[in-house]
A and B are shown apart, each in its own frame.
Chain A
């Protein structure tokens, strides 16, 4: 057992060292190859050569779209949980705010009857999710971390109850005929239609790349350094003159922004939003994705989000003891959270600094264990 683990660890070390020693052009070439691979992935001509990887139960393009939404959400939650160290258990609530804003403004079944096009509703949805993030953060970010966790959980539940019970938000009947994103081919056919999920996947993939670039730059700036200092020791950061409350709010708002973006994209693709989309446990799945991948590391969040969403889709249609394996998904990810925190709290692809923090604390074990 140990030897296997050591073997894996040494292999991982070798890979990461080679990566860091490789010349710049080679790293870019590898990244470009990975990106091209993912752009090519939803084409049948390409994925039929990949053996058992494509999902059998459902349309692979559709599955890839779902995965890409999860990846986007994981990247967003990673800012809040991984960088700033704030436990947000209601992250899916921001997704809901984004999706519902688009739905209310664009759908003919909404009471507002504004019937905006999708692209016009998008910026407003993003602004509203950021505002909701600030509104939620202002009273709670002054408190200790665990209260924040509970209140965010309550926030997601509040949104779900409001969506189910309020007349304005239509409950389970939901909003239909939400318009698709704009754009058409030269022959007049719309790019974003009903049948082909691939353009949506490519759209989300492009946005993921943009978001990742933005988040990476943010993380390497003053803001990112402030986040890390808050995560490591909030009191010390405050003493050193970091306006901790302001930067925590920043992390919350940026995370909310990305969550809202994912929600708006989802609404534009699905053209139907109802309170049934708001399963509370989705927040937990995204959290599991970030923790599994390695919180504080953007690549980790991407891998975690992709892996978790892919596993969920892979479980679909497979039976185990007469119950579809898909039914076990939440239990499975609950266990993943426990096991990861006990055996590998830094995640599969750890952030070096964060892994060092865990190691450091280990030395400070107090009397009596």
Chain B
């Protein structure tokens, strides 16, 4: 236990933790939405994220930005960020749609047992990740420097906050607020909530169940795609295999906040990011990846419904 490291730069660890946590939270939303509606852990969601992250890099490459490019000027930075986010969101939403159509819908039509869904999900996840792995020859792919990571925007209590950190946290929060409004205010959002409460009754009330499910996958995909783009901006390189661990952590974040609960995903993500960063300061960076699992196991033992509880208040069998 190395408390000196932690307290020498407590603010720094906090802000990094929040940044990482914001990305977890965006990915966690996908898990939580699908779980809320289908009671299904969409294991392949980590690959939805990876698809977005790769699409953003390849999209920027198509626009002439290679790994050594440093974009300058506020206008062009914003433009490239928006374009990257758009490409990533489309790619991720597309991947999510394909997964839903190919892997889940045939099983749903047949009322397959829950285990079957999980097996196809993991199969799809590995097949997609490996396809990216083979295509990139299992090498890391460099992202262009769209936003320089060393520019300090402001200082809080002696802690420097960089532009990238502000960008990641702010966009995650903005997406979150938009989603919350969409689910709670819009007509489609009402449909989603209805299907989440009771699929069959919702179908009898004239809601197109399959369309709502597709919409849920697409929204999850858009969130994961933006998360993928932000990941590229923050880290600067991308390996095909990072999705697996990030997906697991995002899932932990979703459970931490209460799976099926949108605001829970945000809180869970930020909290997990913080805990993970503090722990890496205390025990050494090698052990960082274990934190999420320890949190998950302890949580499932003592409070399996998460901090905020499952959103629609339905007890898990």
Whether A158 contacts B111 in the complex (CB less than 8 A), given A140-B300, A337-B119, comes out as no
Query: Of the candidates A87, A280, A361, A368, which one forms a contact with B118 in the assembled complex, judged by CB atoms under 8 Å apart?
Result: A87
A9 at the B interface (CB under 8 A): no
Given contacts A334-B123, A367-B204, contact A158 B134 (CB under 8 A): no
Would you call A31 an interface residue if the criterion is a C-beta within 8 Å of the partner chain's C-beta atoms?
A: no
B112 touches A341 (CB 8 A): yes
Q: Is the CB of A369 within 8 A of B108?
A: yes
A280 vs chain B, min Cβ distance (A): 8
Give bound CA distance, A337 to B108, whole Å.
Answer: 16
Q: How far is the CA of A365 from the CA of B287 in the complex (A)?
A: 46
The answer to whether B116 and A345 touch across the interface, beta carbons within 8 angstroms, is: yes
Q: Please give, as numbers and ranges, the residues of chain B lying within 8 Å of A368 by CB-CB distance.
A: 199-200, 203, 208-210
Within 8 A of B (CB), among A138-169: 139-140, 143-147, 149-151, 153-155, 157-158, 161-162, 164-165
Q: Which single member of A146, A287, A362 contacts B110 (CB below 8 Å)? A: A362
- Residue contact B111 to A365, C-beta cutoff 8 Å: yes
Nearest chain A CB to B138 CB, angstrom units? 8
Would you give the shortest CB distance from A314 to chain B, in whole angstroms? 18
Chain A residues whose CB sits within 8 angstroms of the CB of B300 once the complex forms: 139-140, 143, 147, 151
Size of the chain B interface, CB-CB below 8 angstroms: 55
Chain B residues with CB under 8 Å of A40's CB are none
Taking a contact as CB atoms under 8 Å apart, the answer to whether B304 and A149 are in contact is no
**Cβ-closest chain B residue relative to A281:** B126
Indicate if the CB atoms of B134 and A328 lie closer than 8 Å: yes
Known: A139-B300, A147-B304, A327-B134. Contact between A369 and B210, CB under 8 A? yes
* Tally of A interface residues using CB under 8 Å: 53
Q: Chain B interface secondary structure, helix, strand, loop or mixed? A: helix
**Bound Cα distance from A193 to B296, whole angstroms:** 44
Chain A residue nearest to B132 (CB atoms) is: A331
- Known A288-B123, A341-B107; 8 more pairs at CB < 8 Å: A139-B297, A155-B293, A328-B130, A334-B123, A335-B123, A361-B113, A368-B200, A369-B109
The residues of A that contact B124 with a CB separation of less than 8 Å are 334, 338
24 contacts between A and B (CB under 8 A): A87-B119, A89-B122, A140-B297, A140-B300, A146-B114, A146-B118, A147-B255, A149-B118, A151-B293, A154-B292, A155-B293, A287-B122, A291-B119, A345-B112, A358-B112, A361-B113, A362-B111, A366-B199, A367-B199, A367-B200, A367-B204, A368-B200, A368-B203, A368-B208
Which residues of chain B have a CB within 8 Å of any CB of chain A? Answer: 40-41, 102-103, 106-116, 118-120, 122-128, 130-131, 133-134, 199-200, 203-204, 208-210, 244-245, 248, 251, 255, 284, 286-287, 289-290, 292-293, 296-297, 300-301, 304, 316-317
Please judge, given known A-B contacts A154-B297, A281-B126, A366-B199, whether A161 and B119 are in contact too, CB under 8 Å: no
Q: For B292, what are the chain A residues with a Cβ–Cβ distance below 8 Å?
A: 154
A28 to B: closest C-beta gap in Å: 35
CA distance A357 to B112 in the complex (A): 10
Contacts of B293 in A (CB 8 A): 151, 154-155, 157-158
Is A333's beta carbon under 8 Å from chain B?
yes
Which residues of chain A in 264-304 are interfacial with respect to chain B, using CB atoms and an 8 Å cutoff? 280-281, 284, 287-288, 291
How many angstroms between the C-alpha atoms of A15 and B2 in the bound complex? 67
